[in-house]
Every structure is written in structure tokens, then in C-alpha cells.
Amino acid sequence: MPENYRPDPAFARLSSEGDGAPFFDPVDAATFPEHILRYRNQAWAARVGLGDLADAAWLDHFGRFRPLPDNLLRPLAIRYHGHQFRSYNPDIGDGRGFLFAQLRDDQDRLLDLGTKGSGQTPYSRFGDGRLTLKGGVREVLATEMLEALGVYTSKSFSLIETGEALERNDEPSPTRSSVLVRLSHSHVRFGAFQRLAFEKNDEAIGALVDYCIEHFYPALKAETGEARIIAFFRAVVARTAKLAAQWMAAGFVHGVLNTDNMNVTGESFDYGPWRFAPVADPNFTAAYFDQTGLYAFGRQAEAAAWNLAQFGGALSRIAEADALTEALRHFGDDYERAMADAYFRRLGLERTGSEDYATVTALLRWMTASGAPYEQVFFDWFCGPASAERAQKSPIAELYDKEEFASVRDGLMASSPSDPGRLGHAYFEGPRPCTMLINEVEAIWAEIADNDSWAAFEQKLAAILEMSEAYGFDASLYDAASIR
């Protein structure tokens, strides 16, 4: 293996028991009839020392799951419970995925290689443990778009078509199959702590907190006793607020914000019925089964805070509940600050002060009332005053000329561009931005399903890359160890 490949199977060291209790279960991957490489994240492969793998070796490791050198000898299905649409479910866990390997990147951060669609585990229940090819394509598109928009997200690392015909109730069947490998900083979900609390295993809760501090929040290592638990929870509160704000700024709706779909690093992951909002509609939902709008666009911060309360409840077995509640009370202020940070970043503007959140809310109110296309507004007004002339050439320029926009314009014009040189990128020469609306996703999939044509998929990835280069939102610079 290359010199910059640095294995570190740290999660396995949490359990000294051969069966992995109480944190995970060693499992085996499914055997697939075919292995056709459909997507390979070469940029991130290089960062974790796997960029030089030949395609044959890539398929061997990420399709047949032959262990990486000096890494996990067997995959680990992580144990967790969770609230699903706010109903507690003790019958879940890694049901079609596992932790395949852990390794260090070029910034010495511990990262996980986890799977989706890799076969049945003890937690599959009645599922087949597989992933549709459409689901894999959708996750690649989601993660690439989110990373380009500056959202702290897991990365789609590999997508391999596996040659099986799957039956699904929510799409035409039989449908093609795949296995996805994602790269992320952590697979430690809120639900992992909930399961340990359910089992009344206080020692294991403490051990898992220590693992998280060691690898994700090393600035807290000096803390001891109960203060250590509170500081850890406070850090996760801040990170989760930041993630919710980033989703909003990206116009993204995750769709299924259950406690088992949120993790301790505040990293977005596990993309099922996601959507990008066409307009700023707070009631816009992603999942057809979200009949009450529990996880609607405008309620994602509420969902995140509720999930944090459940996480804090699990930690209350080893820390004072009142202190945990006090840490959670910071969520509102954290979220307001994070919203100002995220929206000003998306607009390419320098923060000006305490009134920035009011500027954001005014912008969102106008966007909601006007029905302006979500992504178009950020494209038109990137770098604020430096784009005033560009905005007048927009397909929606007439909206900017109306009186209702005047106060929003004043706020944008009063802020300094953070890097106006970026407007020289060819991306800003066109009239419209790169988007990822559901009709585009369906059109990409239709070409694959009907004609086995991957041209539209590749073209969309190329367009996202151009957008990413233009905006310069380097999500790889995210430091999970910092706390704000």
C-alpha cells in the first residue's frame, strides 16, 4: 500500500469481547454475482492513501470486501437503537451496512469507511440488506452537491453495481442493485448511546464518550468526571446546530431526521428520500410518508434539537440532567449564529455583526413570499454588491426590482464581499446555477434505467465540480475537533 495509507481500526478496540458486545457485531459481506464500478471518488481516495489502487483492487476491497491491510479483519455492524418519527425502536442497528475500515487522512483525522447495501446483518429484520442502484446514484448526487455547497457531509467513496434484481414497493421492480461505500468521520450515532442507556450499561456509555473525545473532540481531553460529559454534549449541541443551519443555507431537506440518522460529529449522512427545495417553502418535505411535515425544510432545526434532547437523556445516566439541559439551552443561540455564518458564506459576504441574523431572516421571508428559485438567488447575489450588475441580467431580475426586495438589497449591499475575485470563474458567466431538483435526479436515473447511459450522471458531476471550484467551499477543511 502507498506510504500515506494509515490504517487505524480504533472502533474495534472499544470491545474486548470476541462478539463485539456491547458496541458491534462482527459480520460478513454478501457475495454478489457482478462487480461493475460506477463511481470512484478519486480525490478523497488520494487523501486517505488509496488513490493508487487499480480498479481490480478497488473492486476487490469495496465490492468483495477483502480487508484492507492492517485494518479490520471482519466488518462490524454497529449496534444502536433510535427514535424513528419520535417513536422509540429497539429493533434496529446496522441492517444493511457495516464499518469496513478506519484510516487517517492527510490532516491526521480518523475516518470511517462504511457501507450501504453490503448484505444482511443481525439487525436486517425482514430486509434483504441490499441497496438499489437508484438509491446509490441518488446518494452520490446528494453528497457531491452538498459538499460543493459547503455542507459537512459524508462522502460517497465508491459505488459498484452488483448484478442482482431487487424487489421494492416504492419503485418499479425488479430494479438493479448496488453497494455503496461512504467515507465519514464517524458512524457513532445518537442511537448508539440510546441503546446503551436502554441496556443500563453506564460503563459502556462512558467508554463511548471517551472514544468520541479521543478521536473527534481532543480539546476536551483535559476535562474529567462529569464536566467531561457535559463538555462533550455541549460540543455536539454546537455541531448539530451548525449542521442544521448548513442544510438550510443549501436549501436541503434530509427527509428522515431520526435519532439514528444523526451522529456525534454533526456530520450529515444516510441519504434516503432527500430533496433540494425549489423555493424557500418551510413546509416542503422530502419523504412521501412524512404526512405531518415533521421533518419539513423549516422544521429541521426543531428536529435536531429534539434529537439532542434524546441524546442528552441517554447521557443523563452518567451526568447530571440539569447540567445537560443547560447545555442544550445553548442550541438556539448556536443555531442563530450558525445560520448567519452559513448564509453569509453562501452569499460570499463577510459577517458584519449581531444584525446578520436579521439580514438572513429578512432574506428568507422575501424568498418565501416571492417564490424566487432558491439556488438562483444565491447564484445571482454571490459577493453581494459585486454582483449587483449580474443580478440585473438574471432570469428573475424583475423580482429584484420590486419594492419588497428593497430592504433585502440594502442588507446585501451593506456587506463586503469575502472574495470578489471568484466572480471571474466561468461558472458565473451563465444565466442559471447548477441545481439538483427532483426532476433532474429522476431524469438522470431514467437514462441509466432505460438506456444504461451514464452520460447525464457524469455531466451532472462535472457541473457540480465546476460550481465547487467557483464557490470554493472546501468542506474538507472542516475541523471536527474545534468547538464553537
Instruction: Say how many residues make up the chain.
Output: 484
260 is catalytic: yes
Give the angle subtended at the CA of 316 by the CAs of 312 and 479, to the nearest 5°.
Answer: 45
Contact (CB, 8 A) for 90 and 196: no
Q: Which amino acid is at 64?
A: R
Kindly name the residue from 260, 270, 290, 334 that is annotated as catalytic: 260
Strand partners, 37: 160
Q: Cβ of 241: how many Cβ atoms within 10 Å? A: 26
Rounded Cα–Cα distance for residues 136 and 142 (Å): 10
Q: Please report the DSSP string for 75-134 in residue order.
A: -EEEB--EEETTEEESS-B-SS--EEEEEE-TT--EEEEEEESS---TT-TT----EEHH
Judged by phi (left if over 0) then psi (alpha if -120 to 50, else beta), residue 91 lies in: alpha
Instruction: Give the distance, in angstroms, between the CA of residue 144 and the centroid of all CA atoms in the same chain.
Output: 10
Other CB atoms within a 10 A radius of the CB of residue 440 amount to 15
Q: What is the DSSP string of 336-367?
A: HHHHHHHHHHHTTB---STTHHHHHHHHHHHH
Residue of 150, 206, 62, 108 whose CA lies nearest to 348: 150
Report the 10 Å Cβ neighbour count for 8: 16
Q: Which residues lie below 8 Å from residue 62, measured CB to CB, with a gap of 6+?
A: 100, 157, 158, 160, 179, 181
Enzyme catalytic residues: 260
